[in-house]
């Protein structure tokens, strides 16, 4: 393994239920919309990658707000998503949402071992950068070779475009990369790019089908709880992928 690539939401921090969902609802309220995404509804909407795409999908099926004409829908979505991003960044900046267990430890081990680090996310670029900088700190952030997010690619997960771009930017082959994802769309993107994929399940994704994953765990973990070491993650990829890491297997 020459590169360790993290998704952001659900992997670095469990943001979806109490971060993004809350920010969407606050944005709807500030816009005067009678829309509220429940915990259950938002779980269903997560099948759509990308916040702007998620809102468009919702409004196309539930009906657009009155006054939003067809030719103005793109601008409406952009403006509403910008408002939501500002609200989400306030949540992150407040420190309400912590890093997931084991993330800082694995990042430190990777830095010590000279493994390249990257983030590949379909979320807004501003919010992804804030999560990395705020929660991982300046020293760790400085060791990330690439932070790819938002609309940097045309096609979002499960399309492999963002992982193919990361491979090119990092100057490594697909078989030298291990991706850490938390949901099926991300898993499919990583595997379509020819990369090894470790899944750390999140609050919304625990029941998804991860049969294509190279390994599945509830979290990376910190002592004294069950955890994966960097060397065990390395052995998920060729040439030692025959040795499974100590964990829960492929279908937790």
- pLDDT of res. 238: 79
What is the C-alpha separation between 113 and 218, in angstroms, rounded?
Answer: 24
- In the predicted model, is pLDDT for residue 250 greater than 70? no
Q: Given this chain, do its domains 3-14+99-234 and 16-93 carry the same CATH topology? A: no
Among residues 9, 1, 3, the alpha carbon closest in space to that of 149 is found at 9
- In the predicted model, is pLDDT for residue 244 greater than 50? no
Active-site residue set: 7, 9
pLDDT band at 131 (very low <50, low <70, confident <90, very high): very high
- pLDDT of res. 241: 61
Among residues 135, 128, 189, the alpha carbon closest in space to that of 158 is found at 189
Average pLDDT over residues 85-104: 92
| Nearby residues of 201 by Cβ (< 8 Å), 6 or more positions away | 182, 208, 210, 216, 217, 218, 252
- In the predicted model, is pLDDT for residue 252 greater than 90? no
Residue-range domain boundaries for the chain: 3-14+99-234, 16-93
pLDDT band at 226 (very low <50, low <70, confident <90, very high): confident
Percent of the chain with pLDDT over 90: 84
Contact 127, 14 (CB under 8 A): no
- pLDDT of res. 245: 45
May I ask the CATH class of domain 16-93?
A: mainly alpha
Across the chain, mean pLDDT equals 92
Bigger pLDDT: 244 or 197? 197
What is the C-alpha separation between 173 and 167, in angstroms, rounded?
Answer: 6
CA 71 to chain CA centroid, Å, is 31
Q: What is the DSSP letter of 32?
A: T
Domain 3-14+99-234 coded CATH 3.40.50.1000: yes
- pLDDT of res. 251: 39
pLDDT band at 135 (very low <50, low <70, confident <90, very high): very high
């Amino acid at each position: 393994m020459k590169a360790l690539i993290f998704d952001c939401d659900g992997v670095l921090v469990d943001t979806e239920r109490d971060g993004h969902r809350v920010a969407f609802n606050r944005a709807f309220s500030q816009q005067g919309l009678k829309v509220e995404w429940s915990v259950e509804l938002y779980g269903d909407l997560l099948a759509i990658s990308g916040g702007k795409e998620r809102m468009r999908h919702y409004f196309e099926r539930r009906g657009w707000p009155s006054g939003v004409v067809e030719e103005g829908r793109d601008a409406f979505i952009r403006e509403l998503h910008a408002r939501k991003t500002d609200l989400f960044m306030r949540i992150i900046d407040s420190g309400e949402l912590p890093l997931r267990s084991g993330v800082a430890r694995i990042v430190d081990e990777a830095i010590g071992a000279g493994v390249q680090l990257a983030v590949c996310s379909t979320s807004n670029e501003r919010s992804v950068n804030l999560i990395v900088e705020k929660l991982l700190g300046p020293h760790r952030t400085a060791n990330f070779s690439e932070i790819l997010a938002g609309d940097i690619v045309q096609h979002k997960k499960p399309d492999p475009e963002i992982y193919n771009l990361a491979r090119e930017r990092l100057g490594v082959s697909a078989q030298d990369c291990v991706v850490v994802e938390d949901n099926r769309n991300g898993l499919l993107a990583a595997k379509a790019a020819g990369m090894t994929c470790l899944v750390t399940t999140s609050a919304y994704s625990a029941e998804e089908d991860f049969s294509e994953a190279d390994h599945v765990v509830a979290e990376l973990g910190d002592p004294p709880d069950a955890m994966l070491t960097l060397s065990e993650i390395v052995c998920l990829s060729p040439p030692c992928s025959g040795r499974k890491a100590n964990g829960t297997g492929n279908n937790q």
